[in-house]
Structure 1
Amino acid sequence: MSDINATEIDPWAALALNPVELAIVGSVYFLLTTICLIAYVTVIWIFATHHIFIKYTAYKVMINMGVSDIGMLLTYYLQGAQMIQNSDFGYWPSRLAGGLNTATWCGTMIFTFLLALNRFDGLVGLNFIPPNSHPFYNRLIFISHTLVIFDFIFCMVPGFGYSLEITFYFQEEIANSINLTYIYTIIGAA
């Protein structure tokens, strides 16, 4: 008897890129990431340095969300470098980049929820958050950054992490199930 799996054609093999194509795609990653980083840093700099923006809680949340997005963009630089070099750069650089990407993505989702909460309170006017809400949101922002740090540390634990590969993120089985639960919880809360 023959094993069916041994005779099947690998569907991912058709998507494999040769080294020249990887270098082109990696260069495009670098270019697009550079454009996005310049735009992001400019907007965050404006929000953080002008007193008109910094006095509003929504802009404080947006600044922190932008910092989280910048962390994610930096992992795309590494992924572009991997494509250009046609190498995964070893276990630990891939593992650190995968953990950073996962943690900053979760941070972006948390800050999106905080921004939605802030806008809901401001637009609907239910005032379920105290009128002088800066200390309240400052605590939530601190807790959010703490969760992002714990998520990064959690991704470094064997069996719970992600590794950045040349063209994708390799998810360990336990990490995949936990993050799917986490994603569905955030979607349900929103």
Structure 2
Amino acid sequence: MLHRPVHTAFLLFIVICASLRGGLVIAAEPSDALLTSPNATNVWTGRVGWSDQLTYHVDAKFPAAEVIDSISHKLQKAGWEPLKYDFLDPALPSSQVSGWQQFPHGIKDPKLCVHQWLGDWKDAAGNIVRYTFHYKHPGCDTSDLKDLEVSAAYIRAAAVQQAQQMFKQLEKERTNTASGSGGKPNP
């Protein structure tokens, strides 16, 4: 099973964005692509670098098809194209292709199980909006899941291009290190 924890690629991306333009700024004007579901609670918006952020909780029974489908439909109606891959790593299929993933979260008992759906949309200008939907629950049974946490990030095209270049460089360095070249280019 393919694991796509939020804290891996997405946190790397947030660090990249924070380094681009001055860190965390609260009360940003969010993009129209950051959609809040009806009955959302604990709503927060802000900006990290060039990334507008939105998080909230919504009462939605797993697999939250109504919430995900509603957001996807509104985005597509506004001209956003759903991507079949992760915008940072085209080799990694999005949840639009692979569906929900599950993975353990934490090392203490009881271990939390995270069920996650992660997808990207792209507009004509090259901006990206990423939505992460996840549930956390002791054990991996999905029958009781209803506290859906939604996180969204709107990433401007310039930041997308820089993040993709940095990701490619990191992948190249990781490949060189794994092949034993110690970070030096292979002949």
Q: TM exceeds 0.5?
A: no
Q: Could you state the TM-score of these two structures normalised by the residue count of structure 2?
A: 0.23
* Structure that is richer in helix per residue: 1
More strand by share: 2
Q: Identify the structure with bigger relative contact order (alpha carbons < 8 Å, sequence gap 6+).
A: 1
